[in-house]
Amino acid sequence: MTIATNILRVRETIAEACDRAGRDPSAVTLIAVSKTHPPETVLEAVAAGVQHFGENRVEEAGTKIPAVNGLTPRPLVWHMIGHIQSRKAKDVLPLFQYVQSVDSVKLAGKLSGLAVTQGCTLDVLLEVNVSGEEAKYGLVASGWQTDVDTRRRLWADMEAILALPGLNVRGLMTMAPIVDDMEQARPVFASLAALRNALAEAFHRPLPDLSMGMTDDYPVAVEEGATMVRVGRAIFGERQS
Ligand SMILES: *Cc1c(COP(=O)(O)O)cnc(C)c1O
């Protein structure tokens, strides 16, 4: 399978899921997750028409993004999707147009400060952990529909982050647990969509973006309202490291 063929197949699968859900496929952005893959491989996806790419490590991105950008005239959009250590925050802004992994008020404050200094605003998503898995990063949100304390903390964090001048908060991101059957991930995606709706209503913000769904579960995520899917292996094959 070539990367171009894989991309066609993923786009078809997204279109089929949109059909089932009565959604418009143009409302779903495919983000090709290129972590561990070299610039030449990324360029194959660019040649196949992909514009959005996801990377999860600042160091790896620091060499790869300038390399790829230097090899194509097309304007690419780079999404940071991995946990950002505080001391690496300053390296994120020059590389990425979009940060999907804002997982604390502290990191949000830091990114906002950097953006303000540079006279720009950064598009971000808040990463939330709706599944309750301990190994996952993200603002704690499991049980948000019933647990008053979780809700209070989440709402307070949201309020603090929305007040930051350097960030444009566009929505939420989550990672579902790894499961055998993608149907098992559906409640997690539904919960993220409901949380987005609740926050949008409470704070009078549109919060248009829902980034959810990876190789093993993106069709279900699209059915539940994903506006961004982050697909790595189904496009590039197994990772190099
Ligand atoms: C690696 C990664 C993906 C892509 O995973 P695949 O299973 O290869 O599609 C998506 N989101 C995040 C946050 C990742 O780290």
Our measurement of the distance from residue 193's CA atom to the centroid of its chain's CA atoms, rounded to an integer in Å, reads 14
* Other CB atoms within 10 A of residue 122 CB: 24
Domain contains 238: no
Domain contains 163: yes
Residue 75: strand, helix, or coil: coil
CA distance 92 to 80: 8
Tokens representing 95? 């590389």
Alpha helices per DSSP H over the chain: 3-21, 39-47, 58-71, 89-92, 105-117, 148-162, 186-203, 218-223, 233-236
Domain contains 240: no
Q: Is 178 in the pocket of ligand 1 (CB under 6 A)?
A: no
| Ligand 1 mutation pick, 214, 215, 216, 220, max ligand atoms within 8 A of CB | 214
Q: Is 52 in the pocket of ligand 1 (CB under 6 A)?
A: no
CA distance 4 to 214: 18
Domain contains 173: yes
Q: Which residues contact 43 (CB under 8 A, 6 or more apart)?
A: 68, 71, 72
Domain contains 239: no
Q: Is 182 in the pocket of ligand 1 (CB under 6 A)?
A: no
How many structural domains does the chain have? 1
CA distance 101 to 209: 13
Reported pTM: 0.97
CATH classification at residue 78: 3.20.20.10
pLDDT of residue 135: 81
Domain contains 241: no
Q: List the beta bridge partners of residue 30.
A: 229
Q: What is the whole-number distance in angstroms between the Cα of residue 11 and the centre of ligand 1?
A: 17
Domain containing 52 equals 3-233
pLDDT of residue 241: 67
Q: Is 20 in the pocket of ligand 1 (CB under 6 A)?
A: no
Domain contains 165: yes
Our measurement of the distance from residue 73's CA atom to the centroid of its chain's CA atoms, rounded to an integer in Å, reads 24
Q: What is the whole-number distance in angstroms between the Cα of residue 211 and the centre of ligand 1?
A: 11
Domain contains 226: yes
pLDDT of residue 239: 84
Contact 52, 81 (CB under 8 A): no
In order along its 241 residues, the chain shows pLDDT tens digits of 799 999 999 999 999 999 999 999 999 999 999 999 999 999 999 999 999 999 999 999 999 999 999 999 999 999 999 999 989 999 999 999 999 999 999 999 999 999 999 999 999 999 999 998 888 899 999 999 999 999 999 999 999 999 999 999 999 999 999 989 999 999 999 999 999 999 999 999 999 999 999 999 999 999 999 999 999 999 999 987 6
**Residue type present at position 47:** A
